[in-house]
Amino acid sequence: MTTPPTYTPKNVVITGGCGFIGSNFVNYIHDAWPTCNFVNIDKLILNSDTQNVNESVRQSARYKLVLTDIKNEAAILNVFEENEIDTVIHFAADCTSTRCYNETAEAVQNNVLSFIQFLDTVRKYGRIQRFVHISTDEVYGDSDLSADEQGKVEHSRLLPGNPYAATKIAGEAYVRAYQRQYNLPIVTARMNNIYGPNQWDVKVVPRFIEIAKARGEYTIQGTGKQLRSWLFVDDASAGLKAVTENGRLQEIYNLGTYYEKNVADLAKTIQKEVDRQLGRAHEPPRYKSIPDRPYNDLRYFISIEKAQNELGWAPSTSFDDGMRITVASALKERTHVKMHVAIYGGKGYVGQELQHVLKAREIPYVLAEKKVGFDSDEEVEKELALLGVTHVICVTGRTHGPGCNTIEYLEGGADKVFINVRDNMYSATILAHMCRKIGLHYTYIGTGYMFAYDKEHPIGGDEFKEEDEPTFFGSAYSVVKGFTDRQMNYFNQNGWENLNVRITLPLSLDLEQPRNLLSKIIKYKELFDIPVSLTILPDCMNAMCNLMEQRTGGTLNLVNPEPISLYEVVKIYKEIVDDAVNPTPIGVETERAQQLLATKGNCALDTQKLQRIAPVLSAKESLIKHFNEMVAK
């Protein structure tokens, strides 16, 4: 039974509309409300992708995408005002297990504190007529497995069994407070366990589909008897449409299904459907039991009687039909866009190499126009808040200047100290603060030129690790960069999206670039024959982009494994590319070498962490590969 709408939206903001449920809702509602205009607001956290929205919708004149955090008041107000928004459908939330269970404080930041800031922006705007807040059935806690268990109703006691559910209860508490205090027109929907296209690949359905494709073993947590209701995402979208059109303000509606299946039986259904769609003989699934994860409730069972009676809504898609659609979507090849980057310092050598990598990966990016230390902090932050990006990379830094092409330029009096601190410390630190405030992932490209071989870290011995503090203070540049590196530790708190990467002797394959290490050393007559860490930019920038997409934080030595001497680099170049180059090595035992060791930041950085989370080739392997590619061209 369809109930005639009592409210008709015109201009709608959908938060989190690039995530799983949000993107499916966008795809559904664009056709269901054919006269509405939509603005999708998303910060592209781990399970979000702009391509989750159908291309036909992305090309529609009625659809806009704004990439920002909901706590970014300037950007949100701008969207509300420019688009005369009257309706908000609020999906945006961090439901990732890593964040909610291992970084609980950061989950509170995203799901509670940022949500409060969003509510304050809605209140400040003052013209929202309907706000639909998406919550979860997990707020009720566990249900019994018995056949006579009654579904939880909207006024049932809330007993959260996991940190994610706790953040959603906190959000609901503020919904109630803002309804009472400020009369905000909010309706809340508590959603059941949902499946469908675009779900994050760590979740059980997409994970099982991948196992089914490979005919692998299904990992079953605990007994595998955990019961889940299975609501198809289009049915959930229809329910939210009904809540928006006919839900009573200040009320709560359960949206779910009475169809249940345990995870062991789910594997059987998925394996059978994948085999069918791949046109191959069916093989029954094989199981491997693993320890149950924390917070894995046995069952979430809710009553949807209120939604049926008041809204005329009930799920209509059979589980088999929904799974057929879900598997078909998962088996299709697709492109991904999971971040949009702003670059500070993009016109320098490393910045230009970074742009080459972003272009090759088809990652959208923009060069910031405002410059920290030249424009006011207020101007920089205002531009950053409205750039519509999800990630910021800081490549700013001063290594040379007029009349001097080396870091010796920074030696001198107060004028040089000012330039050094402004460009090598203040710019990086203030951008980190701004990104934390606005809700952007931040990557600072720093340096390893603050370490030097010493008694604890001799040539061929222990390498400098991420937790090590600077040891080389032989130049003004290394002193200031060392301070900056230590300041980044403040932003490396658990769950903070701040990536501090250390590069050394950055090398690219562009011989036309005068700042490129390779284009310099192939012209030298003598070269230091002492192993040092190298950052081969095509390798390391790609690894960095992978980590940014995963919203990784912390300090990372971003160098290729296995130190190599500059003499050895040119020797490999000579063998593969140009036999004419013929430098003489300066051995470690020579007086000149000892002088260089004492006055320069030559070192080897430990790469165990990099190889664990984003492995790259060793320096020698990489050089051989790239030099052969140069010859092939």
Q: Pick the range with the lowest mean pLDDT from 47-51, 443-447, 620-624.
A: 47-51
Does 293 share its domain with 429? no
Q: Is the pLDDT of residue 1 over 70?
A: no
CA atoms of 229 and 411, how far apart (whole Å): 67
pTM listed for this prediction:
0.91
Does 306 share its domain with 349? no
Asked, for residue 35, whether it belongs to a domain, the answer is yes
- Which residue of the set 42, 138, 468, 568 is catalytic? 138
Q: Is the pLDDT of residue 297 over 60?
A: no
Q: Over the stretch 509-564, which tens digit does the pLDDT of each residue have? A: 999 999 999 999 999 999 989 999 999 999 999 999 999 999 999 999 999 999 99
Does 123 share its domain with 271? yes
> Angle at Cα 132 formed by Cα 127 and Cα 134, nearest 5°?
145
> Angle at Cα 87 formed by Cα 122 and Cα 308, nearest 5°?
120
The question of whether 454 is a catalytic residue gets the answer no
- The CATH number of whichever domain residue 157 belongs to comes to 3.40.50.720
Q: Which of the four pLDDT bands, split at 50, 70 and 90, describes residue 98?
A: low
Does 220 share its domain with 265? yes
The residues, ordered by sequence, that sit 6+ positions from 182 with a Cβ below 8 Å of its Cβ are 123
Asked, for residue 335, whether it belongs to a domain, the answer is no
Does 357 share its domain with 315? no
When pLDDT is averaged across residues 213-239 and rounded to a whole number, the result is: 87
Question: Which amino acid is it at 6?
Answer: T
With beta carbons less than 8 A apart as the criterion, state whether 11 and 83 touch: yes
Does 284 share its domain with 380? no
Q: Which of the four pLDDT bands, split at 50, 70 and 90, describes residue 224?
A: low
- Which residue of the set 28, 63, 140, 164 is catalytic? 164
When pLDDT is averaged across residues 445-455 and rounded to a whole number, the result is: 93
Does 307 share its domain with 347? no
Give residue 198's pLDDT.
96
The question of whether 63 is a catalytic residue gets the answer no
Asked, for residue 4, whether it belongs to a domain, the answer is no
Q: How many domains is the chain partitioned into structurally?
A: 2
Asked, for residue 159, whether it belongs to a domain, the answer is yes
Q: What is the mean pLDDT of the chain?
A: 93
- Which residue of the set 137, 468, 529, 539 is catalytic? 137
Does 216 share its domain with 302? yes
Q: Is the pLDDT of residue 602 over 90?
A: no
The question of whether 164 is a catalytic residue gets the answer yes
Asked, for residue 336, whether it belongs to a domain, the answer is no
- Comparing 216 with 262, which gets the higher pLDDT? 216
Q: Which of the four pLDDT bands, split at 50, 70 and 90, describes residue 496?
A: confident
Does 320 share its domain with 347? no
Q: Is the pLDDT of residue 455 over 70?
A: yes
Does 215 share its domain with 314? yes
When pLDDT is averaged across residues 113-128 and rounded to a whole number, the result is: 98
Q: Is the pLDDT of residue 267 over 90?
A: yes
Q: Is the pLDDT of residue 43 over 90?
A: yes
Q: Where are the alpha helices (DSSP H) in 407-536?
A: 414-421, 427-438, 476-488, 517-521
For the chain, how many residues are written? Answer: 633
Asked, for residue 481, whether it belongs to a domain, the answer is yes
Q: What percent of the chain has pLDDT over 90?
A: 79
Give residue 419's pLDDT.
96
Does 279 share its domain with 402? no
Q: Over the stretch 170-201, which tens digit does the pLDDT of each residue have? A: 999 999 999 999 999 999 999 988 999 999 88
Residue 479: how many CB atoms within 10 A of its CB?
Answer: 17
Give residue 603's pLDDT.
92
Closest CA to 547 of 46, 17, 41: 46
CA atoms of 438 and 318, how far apart (whole Å): 42
Does 379 share its domain with 325? no
Q: Is the pLDDT of residue 587 over 90?
A: no
Which structural domain range is residue 94 located in?
Answer: 11-330
